[in-house]
Amino acid sequence: MPPPEPEFSAGTGGTPSGPSARDTACSAYQRNRAPTSPDSATPGAHPATPYGGSMTITAAADGSALGNPGPNGWAWYIDDANWAAGGSPHGTNNQGELRAVLELLQATAGTAGEKLVIECDSRYVIDSVTKWMPGWKRKGWRKSDGGPVLNRDLLEGIDEALRGRDVSFTWVKGHAGHPLNEAADQRANAAATAYQRKREPERGPGFTGGSLTDAGVAPAPAPARKPPATVSADGTRAGSAALPVVAPSAAPAPALWAEASDLLDGLDLPATAAPIELRVALSASEHARLRDRADAQRVSLEEALRRLI
């Protein structure tokens, strides 16, 4: 088993806080019981008890991009009964990494009273959330050099999803035999490959809260996908350190990437009709979001908007 990795709590400035739950018990779920030995516990094993009660959820989140930017994928993984994956026809590795964390936080929103440990092999993700984000917010989502923060919409979504949650991040070295990280990496890469081949990726069961007592037991059906919570774009919310509890919003946020398979239809067809000019009035915050996306993809504002369509 790999040695323990440093753990960082969201909003604590990235200060290591000791070994993670996986390091001490090496299990996806811990429910008020003595830790098992590393040799006897596996990522796919749960206690055969109903979902609920005090526990720590340990999950890995990972992203992938073929070309960077290029077809990209994201995935989070707890065990074979609880994981999800997705991606987009075009994006960066960092966008996939952040999206995986956001999707994990949203999928486990119903467990807000439990501790969540997120394993990441991306220093960018951990530092962005635990070190840099409070300062970016104070500066109106501007970096120290005055430039706009890239991937702001994803970071704002993560900031919102962290409120009221007990979440910490653990850095793990990628491709180094960490079981959860390896599983997430494989699924993120598979999603990116699916988009490269213009196929719908395997999305997984989502967070079911189910237990795997035998390798042959099929995972429970995936719950209906909930829309993401609306994220404010004005950068005036309270800092992440307080993590106040807020009621979930009923209005879905605009999706960063469209993931429906019909987006892939007709990508190779020649344009036979004359182009139609469309004028769109954007607010300052909407324009900033579009500019951030264009900068991340190294394309013009017009091309970034066209890719969203």
The model's confidence at residue 131, banded by pLDDT at 50, 70 and 90, is very high
Average pLDDT over residues 271-288: 71
Q: pLDDT at residue 159 above 90? A: yes
What 8-state DSSP symbol labels residue 252?
B
pLDDT of residue 301: 76
Query: CA-to-CA distance for 129 and 98, rounded, in angstroms?
Result: 10
Q: pLDDT at residue 172 above 80? A: yes
The model's confidence at residue 224, banded by pLDDT at 50, 70 and 90, is very low
- Name the maximum alpha-carbon separation found in the chain: 68
Closest CA to 141 of 288, 284, 243: 288
Higher pLDDT, 190 or 34: 190
At 66-120, the pLDDT tens digits run: 999 999 999 999 999 999 999 999 999 999 999 999 999 999 999 878 999 999 9
Average pLDDT over residues 124-141: 96
The model's confidence at residue 235, banded by pLDDT at 50, 70 and 90, is very low
Query: CA-to-CA distance for 1 and 43, rounded, in angstroms?
Result: 12
pLDDT of residue 90: 95
Q: Map out the domains of the chain with their CATH numbers.
A: 7-257 (3.30.420.10)
Residue of 79, 97, 119, 292 with catalytic role: 97
Residue of 63, 157, 209, 235 with catalytic role: 63
Of 109-113, 114-118, 218-222, 259-263, the range with the highest mean pLDDT is: 114-118
**Mean pLDDT across the chain, nearest whole number?**
72
pLDDT of residue 300: 80
Residue of 145, 175, 214, 268 with catalytic role: 175
Catalytic, 175? Answer yes
Q: pLDDT at residue 39 above 60? A: no
The model's confidence at residue 9, banded by pLDDT at 50, 70 and 90, is low
Catalytic, 287? Answer no
Catalytic, 110? Answer no
pLDDT of residue 7: 66
Residue of 5, 7, 23, 62 with catalytic role: 62
Percent of the chain with pLDDT over 90: 48
Q: pLDDT at residue 4 above 60? A: no
Catalytic, 166? Answer no
Residue of 119, 121, 160, 182 with catalytic role: 121
Q: pLDDT at residue 260 above 60? A: no
Q: Which amino acid is at 44?
A: G
Question: Peptide bond before 69: cis, by omega within 30 degrees of 0?
Answer: yes
Catalytic, 97? Answer yes
Helix, strand, or coil (residue 83): strand
Q: Could you tell me where the beta strands, DSSP code E, fall in the chain?
A: 7-9, 29-30, 56-65, 70-79, 82-91, 115-120, 166-171
Q: pLDDT at residue 32 above 90? A: no
How many CA atoms, within 13 angstroms, populate the side-chain half-sphere of residue 204?
Answer: 27
What 8-state DSSP symbol labels residue 237?
S
Element at 100 (helix H, strand E): helix 93-107
Residue of 11, 185, 204, 292 with catalytic role: 185
Q: Are 227 and 107 in contact (CB under 8 A)?
A: no
Q: Are 210 and 219 in contact (CB under 8 A)?
A: yes
Average pLDDT over residues 16-35: 36
Q: How would you class 276 by CB atoms within 10 Å of its CB: exposed for 0-12, middle for 13-18, buried for 19 or more?
A: exposed
Tokens of 62: 């990972």
Tokens of 257: 């990437």
- Least confident piece of the model among 9-13, 114-118, 244-248: 244-248
